[in-house]
Amino acid sequence: MTQNQWTIINIATICSCLTLLVLAVGAAIFFVVRASQKRGATPVKPPQQAVQPPPPVSRICTSCGTVNAPTNNFCEQCGAPLAK
């Protein structure tokens, strides 16, 4: 065999291995998603979706962005008056 033929065989082997890997990973993700949808109660979520935005009652400082308690009239961080 020549070097060229070996290269073609190697590429074909790598491609078929990658295809099997992608299929296996895809099937695994599919079954995990289906299993979590069936349970319903505890869906698997990425952490960034679990972060809730601050509740609307909080008073966010327009000067420094600090989230203050709803009862605060002035920013805890920089003392700027908080708008209503």
Closer to Zn ion by Cβ: residue 13 or 77: 77
Q: Which of 63, 70, 74, 81 binds Zn ion (CB under 5 A)?
A: 63
Q: Which amino acid is at 36?
A: S
C-beta of 84: minimal distance to Zn ion in Å?
Answer: 15
Which residues in the 1-60 window bind Zn ion by CB under 5 A?
A: none
3-state DSSP call for residue 71? coil
Which stretches within the chain are classed as H helix? 3-39, 47-50
Distance CA 12, CA 31 (A): 29
The answer to whether residue 80 forms part of the interface with Zn ion (CB under 5 A) is yes
Closer to Zn ion by Cβ: residue 9 or 64: 64
What are the residues binding Zn ion (CB under 5 A)? 61, 63-64, 66, 75, 77-78, 80
